[in-house]
């Protein structure tokens, strides 16, 4: 009996240790299950409470400042109203630019986007003046290029003189760069004088915004970045419309139809064609409507008067939640 009892006695501590370890493992598993269940519940609650526009993962991308689709405009944090769609003039020069802007204004477009580096501010201004439309009804955007940041006052005066439209509705810094804060503070002074109504930024992303915003006095009204279905910018949109939503900044999309790099591929996308067929709309119209429902102003460019009109006719239909989620990436 002594020989048989000795092994049993020696195994007792081992058995107790295994039991204790098993209990600890079970406790850890139960704790993890509770935590994960709570997180999943919170996530489902968040998604359930979202407005109708979000991306494929259910992340909110809709602007907290609602677009007024009836009047095709949105109120900026500067207090001024900006049209939610317009025409971009990148690569439009001379008479071609003048004709495109004139055609856009005749089609009902009231937002014109230009820039110093585009070399077409004079043509944009002339088209605005020749339109016969009240200046207060047209929203003119231009941009200060990086090479102008060292002497921003001269840059602003240059654009004012070239446009010759009394004032600039919105002026953006075209890119981050040396002296960008200095240039922005100069624009702030022109806001105070009334020569510029609203100011903002272009091609600024999260890291740049975290550096830049604490150094200025007037919050940007607009951040204009490249945004289209193949370059959705969800992270920066969520940052602007969630993390710093109290700033009241609105997102705007340049190259909303994909530009030269993605235009052909986007316009031939079968998913977009199917959605367009449902509403009797073109692929560009579907893309532009998708942008609007994400809280993003759009400025597609074109020299074709029919396309310009088409790009503006995007307010008489609405994409469903499923269609917003199935947008190709």
- Beta partners for residue 254, in sequence order: 226
For 97-136, write each residue's pLDDT tens digit.
999 999 999 999 999 999 999 999 999 999 999 999 999 9
Q: 118 an active-site residue?
A: yes
CA–CA separation, 323 and 220 (whole Å): 31
Token pair listed for 16: 């107790």
CA–CA separation, 249 and 244 (whole Å): 8
CA–CA separation, 317 and 308 (whole Å): 18
What pLDDT is attached to residue 326? 82
310: left (phi over 0), alpha (psi -120 to 50) or beta: alpha
Residue found by looking up tokens 């003039």 in the block = 89
pTM over 0.75: yes
Nearest to 255 by CA among 282, 276, 232, 280: 232
Three-class DSSP category at 54: strand
Lowest pLDDT segment from 31-45, 67-81, 216-230, 307-321: 31-45
Residue from 54, 118, 239, 241 carrying the catalytic annotation: 118
What is the DSSP pairing of strand 111-113 with strand 139-144?
A: parallel
Token pair listed for 128: 């605005």
Q: 73-325: what fold? A: TIM Barrel (3.20.20)
Backbone angles phi, psi at 324, to 5 degrees: -65, -40
For 183-234, write each residue's pLDDT tens digit.
999 999 999 999 999 999 999 999 999 999 999 999 999 999 999 988 899 9
Domain ranges of the chain: 1-49, 73-325
């Amino acid at each position: 009996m002594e020989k048989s009892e000795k092994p049993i006695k020696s195994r007792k501590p081992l058995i107790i240790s295994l039991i204790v370890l098993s209990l600890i493992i079970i406790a850890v598993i139960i704790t993890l299950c509770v935590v994960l269940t709570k997180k999943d519940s919170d996530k489902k609650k968040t998604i359930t409470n979202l407005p109708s526009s979000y991306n494929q993962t259910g992340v909110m991308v809709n602007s907290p400042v609602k677009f007024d689709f009836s009047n095709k405009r949105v109120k900026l944090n500067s207090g001024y109203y900006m049209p939610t769609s317009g025409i971009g003039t990148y690569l439009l020069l001379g008479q071609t630019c003048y004709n495109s802007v004139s055609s856009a204004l005749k089609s009902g477009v009231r937002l014109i986007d230009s820039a110093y580096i585009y070399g077409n501010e004079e043509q944009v201004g002339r088209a605005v003046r020749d339109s016969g439309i009240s200046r207060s009804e047209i929203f003119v955007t231009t941009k200060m290029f990086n090479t102008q940041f060292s002497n921003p006052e001269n840059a602003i005066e240059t654009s004012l003189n070239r446009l010759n439209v009394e004032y600039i509705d919105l002026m953006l810094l075209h890119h981050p760069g040396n002296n960008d804060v200095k240039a922005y503070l100069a624009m702030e002074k022109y806001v105070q004088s009334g020569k510029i109504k609203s100011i903002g930024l272009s091609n600024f992303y999260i890291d740049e915004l975290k550096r830049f915003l604490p150094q200025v006095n007037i919050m940007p009204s607009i951040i204009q970045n490249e945004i289209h279905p193949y370059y959705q910018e969800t992270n920066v949109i969520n940052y602007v419309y969630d993390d710093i939503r109290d700033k009241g900044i609105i997102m705007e999309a340049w190259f909303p139809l994909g530009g030269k790099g993605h235009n052909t591929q986007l316009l031939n996308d079968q998913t977009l064609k199917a959605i367009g067929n449902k509403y009797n709309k073109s692929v560009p119209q579907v893309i532009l409507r998708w942008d609007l429902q994400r809280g993003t102003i759009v400025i597609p460019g074109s020299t074709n008067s029919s396309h310009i009109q088409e790009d503006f006719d995007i307010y008489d239909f609405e994409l469903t939640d499923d269609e917003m989620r199935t947008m190709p990436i």
